[in-house]
Amino acid sequence: MNNIHIKAYAKINLTLDITGRRENGYHDVKMVMQKINLYDDIFIEKNNSGKITLSSGRDDLPNDENNIAFKAAEVLLRKFNIKDGIHINIIKRIPVAAGLAGGSSDCAAVLKGLKKLFGIFINDDELIKVGADLGKDVPFCIFENATMFSYGLGDELSVINSLPQYNIVLAKPNINVSTAWAYKMFDVSETKVHPDTRGIIDAIKIKNRLGIESRILNVLEYVTAKKYPIIKEYEDFLIENGARAAAMSGSGPSVFGMFINKSNADMAAEKLKKNFGVKEVFSIITL
């Protein structure tokens, strides 16, 4: 085998709670995360150059050692003393800097792809540990499970039963948000309403749609949506157009609405695109 293709799936946060801040500046979180059928295509090809190269055809992405997917290859090849060269080509669909774990998912795909391409003997726990050192969302992206509870620093995970399938309208406003900025600005002491994490996990386990939808909440909205009111405008618009719940994903600015009916979701996506002049709008499903 000289080449491999992997799909790197985006995620949304059904809930995101921040419960404290450690002395080292990192935050303790509780999140219910869900993979969605929006993905980047990752192609990896062996060569005899002895070098790692990366391409994406995008000006808004680093195409060198500053790309987390490049770093993943660098770490794994060095760890197992692999001297072959590789070329990574990323066909990007997941919006950049959008709270959707696009970079983390690309990173995870490279780790999984290299393991298979080179027949690397590394168990899942060790691969996840390598991923956690590269980014806190990477372990979730390595797992095949679509719905998971993430806690601690975001790299501790437990499996939840699969979410009942939803049609998702996902839209990224024409702004970028720094994850580091959002977490830095968040003040736990000022946050009065937190997600019912236990409640939504229980609701997912018994596929109680109303119980799930009523508990969709992301505390980082108190920071990001305060600075960028367009986020709340998107959410309100999606609810007005039939979404059963709507929220921001991650640190933002992406917003998603949850629909049962595909035609309603498609119609809401088209209206959102037309009314707000937003380019990155997707009508997709949960995995």
Catalytic residues: 11, 137
Measured CA distances, 34 to 45, 47, 104, 195 (Å): 29, 35, 14, 16
Three-class SS of residue 24? coil
**Closest alpha carbon to 32 in 250, 255, 258:** 250
**Exposure b/e, 219-246, CB count within 10 A at least 16 = b:** bbbbbbbeebebbeebbebbeebbbbbb
Token duo for residue 102? 């696009």
Question: Is-contact 165 204, C-beta < 8 A?
Answer: no
Question: Is-contact 14 109, C-beta < 8 A?
Answer: no
Distance between CA atoms of residues 260 and 265, nearest Å: 8
Question: Is-contact 71 111, C-beta < 8 A?
Answer: no
